[in-house]
């Protein structure tokens, strides 16, 4: 029997710890529970919102006048294949538990995605990525419920239309599916390939990779390096670190055409900025760190406005220091308009606002 709770507080279900109450709330441990919940919402003629780990969600101070359906399905399967291993994980598994499981099994391909909060089912939606890896490189197939027909559908990797922080699930098909399971294809022959310069130099300075015997030990060493870097930036959720009460990066890094990038350099010169913005390779153009733009526009690390602010350890994370959603959104708008004015770039928000 699916249980529906009324007037349920939402703030503690998100890493921002913001937001009011849901009119109804339920946890779904399997597909049948999800279908029950959808039928419940339809019978009451109310909206529903699918919630994963709450690490990319901002609930309004007024809460949600509908049903919040929390994904709580579990299970990780290990399937040996001729050319590697397939891991099939339920949408409700913690993403980092899947990463740990792969590393312990000596499987490479997701080790740089260590310490990312949230659930497996959310990873394809925004094509989670960090330190030179993204889930699009290892996802084989996504299984989902089609919310129009209530039937199970499957998407092969190429059908997910992955891009930087993008897929069909947060673009043209937003709100059309509940992801129930994700299959990943991982490598058994591993020579961890560390593409991100910051991680490469961190590992080179602290770990003697060649002395490690097994694949699992090498992968574990990369994981530890990633976790150490993320912790330094308060990008690991930690109750004792007030700067981690955030959704990680609040804005996407803008990807500019060469023309737009040249224009940005002109604007920087005109605004008296002596250094040029750093750039990162991106298949789609020139990627510029939004954190750099924030700092140059005056929103430096540790900037505070009321109960919210910019993380003291990374300019791209907006943090709730005991404020409200309203304050957070106002700060985000202030940052966006300052950056449009100075650099002609409109930053796109990464976390999803539910109201
Ligand atoms: N920078 C600053 N100020 C800061 C932080 C960074 O100017 O306070 C500049 C520096 O020039 C630095 C550059 O920004 O070299 C890049 O910073 P960082 O390596 O921390 O990466 P990022 O671009 O800010 C992205 C992802 C992160 C991911 C890291 C590492 C996005 C929106 N964010 O951040 O993902 O962990 O790369 O790969 O693409 C997330 O999405 O929540 C997230 C944490």
- Residue pair 85/186 in contact by the 8 Å Cβ criterion: yes
Task: State the pTM of this model.
Answer: 0.95
**Whether the CB of 310 sits within 6 Å of ligand 1:** no
Quote the pLDDT of residue 49.
Answer: 98
Q: Label the pairing between strands 352-354 and 57-59.
A: parallel
Mean pLDDT of the chain: 95
pLDDT in tens, 241-251: 999 999 999 99
Q: Label the pairing between strands 84-90 and 57-59.
A: unpaired
Facing residues of 154 across strands?
143
Q: Which of 165, 166, 223, 230 is catalytic?
A: 165
- Give the rounded percent of residues in the chain with a pLDDT score beyond 70: 100
Residue nearest to atom 40 of ligand 1 (CA): 249
Facing residues of 51 across strands?
70
pLDDT in tens, 294-329: 999 999 999 999 999 999 999 999 999 999 999 999
For residues 240 and 112, what is the distance between their CA atoms, to the nearest angstrom? 24
Which residue in the block uniquely carries the two structure tokens 């010169």? 269
Average pLDDT (44-66) is: 98
**Whether the CB of 333 sits within 6 Å of ligand 1:** no
Residue nearest to atom 14 of ligand 1 (CA): 289
pLDDT in tens, 217-230: 999 999 999 999 99
Q: Which two tokens stand for residue 328?
A: 């957070």
Q: How many CA within 13 A on the CB side of residue 127?
A: 22
Q: Is 244 a catalytic site residue?
A: no
- Domains delineated in the chain: 5-71 (3.30.43.10), 76-232 (3.30.465.10), 242-354 (3.90.78.10)
**Whether the CB of 202 sits within 6 Å of ligand 1:** no
Q: Which two tokens stand for residue 13?
A: 């279900």
**Whether the CB of 60 sits within 6 Å of ligand 1:** no
Q: Residue 175 has what DSSP assignment?
A: T
For residues 312 and 303, what is the distance between their CA atoms, to the nearest angstrom? 8
Q: Is 60 a catalytic site residue?
A: no
Q: Which two tokens stand for residue 161?
A: 């239309």
């Amino acid at each position: 029997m699916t249980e529906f709770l009324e007037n349920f507080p939402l703030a503690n279900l998100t890493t921002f710890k913001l937001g009011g109450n849901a009119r109804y709330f339920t946890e779904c441990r399997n597909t049948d529970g999800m279908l029950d919940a959808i039928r419940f919402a339809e019978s009451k003629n109310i909206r529903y919102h699918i919630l994963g780990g709450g690490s990319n969600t901002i609930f309004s101070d007024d809460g949600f006048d509908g049903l919040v359906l929390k994904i709580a399905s579990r299970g990780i399967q290990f399937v040996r294949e001729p050319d590697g291993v397939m891991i099939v994980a339920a949408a409700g598994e913690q993403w980092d538990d899947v990463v740990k499981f792969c590393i312990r099994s000596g499987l490479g391909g997701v080790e740089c995605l260590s310490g990312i909060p949230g659930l497996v089912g959310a990873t394809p939606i925004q094509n989670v990525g960090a330190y030179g890896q993204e889930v699009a490189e290892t996802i084989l197939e996504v299984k989902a419920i089609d919310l129009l027909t209530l039937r199970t559908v499957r998407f092969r990797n190429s059908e997910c239309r992955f891009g930087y922080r993008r897929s069909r699930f947060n673009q043209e098909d937003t709100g059309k599916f509940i992801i129930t399971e994700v299959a990943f294809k991982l490598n058994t022959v591993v020579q961890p390939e560390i593409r991100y310069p910051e991680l490469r130099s961190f590992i080179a300075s602290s770990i003697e990779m060649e002395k490690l015997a097994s694949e699992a030990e090498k992968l574990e060493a990369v994981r530890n390096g990633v976790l150490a870097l993320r912790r330094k930036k308060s990008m690991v959720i930690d109750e004792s670190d007030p700067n981690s009460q955030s959704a990680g990066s609040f804005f996407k890094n803008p990807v500019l055409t060469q023309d737009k990038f040249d224009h940005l350099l002109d604007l920087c010169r005109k605004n008296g900025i002596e250094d040029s913005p750093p750039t990162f390779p991106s298949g789609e153009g020139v990627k510029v760190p939004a954190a750099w733009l924030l700092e140059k526009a005056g929103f430096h690390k540790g900037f505070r406005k009321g109960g919210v602010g910019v993380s003291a350890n990374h300019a791209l994370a907006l943090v709730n220091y005991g404020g409200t959603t309203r304050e957070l959104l106002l700060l985000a708008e202030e940052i966006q308009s300052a950056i449009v004015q100075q650099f002609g770039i409109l930053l796109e928000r990464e976390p999803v606002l539910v109201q």
